Amino acid sequence: MFLDVYNRNLKVRFSTIAFIQANVLELTPETFDKTIGGKKPALVKFYAPWCGHCQNLAPVYDELGKLCLGKNVIIARIDADKHHEFGSKFGVKGYPTLMWFDPNSKVGNLYKDRRDIDSLSSFIEKKSGIKLNKKPVKQGALELTPNNFNKIVMDPTKDVLVEFYAPWCGHCKALEPIYTKKHLVIAKLNADSHRDIAKKHGIEGYPTIKFFLKGTSEKMGIEYNGENTEDDIISFINTYTGTMRVRGGGLNDMEIVLKLKNLAKKSNDKYASYYIKVAEKIITSPEFIEVEYQRLEKLLNKKLERSKYDDAQIRKNILSVFRVKKKHFSDEL
């Protein structure tokens, strides 16, 4: 039965999406007042979805959230473009604005230091006295040689991304921080030292990135011609693999929705599609659950035909799953 499968495997994951994006608590003016100013200190990012600087900070802020996971500190954000008046109360004039809130205080202190992960984590440890989780050790790309090239790259069971580089190449060095992120760390070949292999694969300049799709041992590398940015390289990989990866290598929210839809297609359960609707809604509108729950509650107080009453009650029960997860998370703050 679809609902049983959903509850067993995906309920927790989807209820979390509504309230936490990448380990960062998403706030509204209402939840801000309930969350900030309690026993835990908090760092809050006032952002705008369209802001390029905010988008650049997002993966760093997400990593910061991971370092603070399970610690006595809150990492949160609020859309100050959508809630402009609320942002103005705190003197927000540009995006992103980071503010630190001490325990039992709703007075924000402007964060003015660098916005890299080391500076942010050091700031939090100094202000809170809390030792954060250790940062994961970055692992470099697998170094290829003539001895292991065919075994690794031509493996028919694996998709392989390869950077053909030269140690002296400035563009190659600029690409390295992107290439050594875990989900992109596949392999690299010093094409300047191993020119025979480079020539065989048509390498004429550095760096050259090629993607070798699984399925055959006679792989032909697909050359990447986009910008050397993480998002563009991920998009390139998604185009050929059919996956929907994001920064960090995880599946994006829509990929999870698609997995649910596939489950729904195999199910005869009448309310499978309603789970999908809720799942899609909470990605774009975190407030949907509460609004819809209240609407159904009012509807149930009216005189309804038995079938309509039962339908509304079941939908309300489904929403309750997500409301319980929200309350549980809030109680932990």
Sequence-distant (6+) residues with CB within 8 A of 243 are: 237, 251, 255
DSSP 206-259: SSEEEEE-SS-SS--PEEE-S-SSHHHHHHHHHHHH---B-TTSPBPHHHHHHH
Give yes or no: 51 in active site.
yes
Give yes or no: 68 in active site.
no
Give yes or no: 54 in active site.
yes
Q: Which of the residues 169, 251, 304, 333 is marked catalytic? A: 169
Polymer length of the chain: 333
Secondary structure (3-state) at 104: coil
DSSP 149-161: HHHHHT-TT--EE
Amino acid at the residue 312: A
Q: Which of the residues 18, 27, 44, 54 is marked catalytic? A: 54
Secondary structure (3-state) at 280: helix
Contact of 62 with 23, CB cutoff 8 Å? yes
What's the count of helices (H) and strands (E) in the chain, helices before strands? 14, 11
Q: Cis link prior to 286 (omega < 30° from 0)?
A: no
Please tell me the distance from the alpha carbon of residue 53 to that of residue 11, in angstroms, as a whole number. Answer: 33
Q: Which residues are catalytic?
A: 51, 54, 169, 172
